[in-house]
Chains A and B, each alone.
Chain A
Amino acid sequence: MTYEEAIAAYPHDQVHVQVDGVVRLMTPAEYEEFIQRQVDYIPE
């Protein structure tokens, strides 16, 4: 998945992080890390 494909597949306002019962949108840094993870992922 390219960076652009990852952005398109997972818009910032549709990806969250959860701690116990609290779900929130990602910070910009968290989102950037998330997108990069999609780009770097190698299926196993």
Chain B
Amino acid sequence: MPLTTYTAGEVLTASSLNANLSYLDGAAGLALVKTQTIGTTVASVTVTGAFSATYNAYKIIVDGGVGSATALLGLQLGAAATGYYEAAVRANYSTGTVDSGAASNTTSFARAGNVNANYINLACDLINPFAAKYTLINGMWISLTQGGQHSGYLADTTSYTAFTLTPASGTLTGGTIKVYGYKA
């Protein structure tokens, strides 16, 4: 049943309202799963209870915050410290020159994001982190000098519920990690 709209003066029944709520609950879109405020001068932030059987795909963003250094921001799933494959292709804002960074069978998605004194950049999708399948990642590369795209996969079929963000240099302060699940 599609979403019901009402006109002025019309009687709103419980059944109609409930039908609308059910419709919205089942509608496609993003459902906020978890938010986590980042503390002060933290070298890593672990978010537990982020993934479950409820959703197969997730979006993770960091809203606000800064780094103490200009560096890559790594993402690790659970305690997995091997099997990460990734590549980032990015263009320099001034020259347009394109280069890349990549790693094979490494210890994290080391290029998942970027941090600097102005912002924390992490905006990525994770597909199947909880399912017993390879986990896929794709997201944006937004450093102070380059913009581009990052993608990769974790080559194991372990089910993960948590992830950890770690800057390759320095610490993080502030901002909010938000995890959304993609509804069917």
Q: Give me the interface of A with B, judged by CB distance under 8 Å.
A: 1, 10, 14-21, 23, 26, 30, 34, 37-38, 41, 43-44
Contact across chains for B39 and A23 when beta carbons are under 8 A apart: yes
| A16 adjacent to B169 (CB under 8 Å) | no
Q: Nearest Cβ in chain A — how far from B123, in angstroms?
A: 18
Q: Does B16 contact A (CB under 8 A)?
A: no
- Inter-chain contacts of B171 with A (CB < 8 A): 10, 15-16
User: What's the Cα separation between A20 and B47 when bound, in Å?
Assistant: 5
Q: What residues of chain B have their CB less than 8 Å away from a CB belonging to chain A?
A: 36-49, 70-72, 101, 111, 168-171
Given A16-B41, A34-B43, CB of A21 within 8 Å of CB of B36: yes
In the complex, chain A residues whose CB is within 8 Å of the CB of B70: 43
Pair A23/B42 contact, Cβ less than 8 Å: yes
Query: From B171, which residue of chain A is reached at the shortest CB distance?
Result: A15
With contacts A20-B47, A41-B168, A44-B101 taken as known, whether A15 is within 8 angstroms of B71 at the C-beta atoms is: no
Of A18, A19, A23, the most chain B CB neighbours within 10 A belong to A18
> In the complex, which of the residues A18, A34, A43 contacts B46, with contact meaning CB atoms closer than 8 Å?
A18
**Count of A-B contacts with CB under 8 A?**
53
Considering only CB atoms, which chain B residue lies closest to A41 in the complex?
A: B169
List of B residues within 8 angstroms of A18 by Cβ: 38-39, 42, 44-46
The CA-CA distance from A21 to B38 in the complex, in Å, is 8
Q: Is the CB of A43 within 8 A of B41?
A: no
- Indicate whether A44 sits within 8 Å of B47 (C-beta atoms), given known contacts A14-B41, A18-B42: no
A41 to B72, CA, bound (A): 10
Q: List chain A residues, Cβ under 8 A from B46.
A: 17-20
**In the assembled complex, which residues on chain B have CB atoms less than 8 Å from the CB atom of A37?**
168-169
9 residue pairs, one from A and one from B, having the closest CB atoms: A23-B39, A41-B169, A18-B42, A19-B46, A18-B45, A16-B42, A18-B39, A34-B43, A44-B101
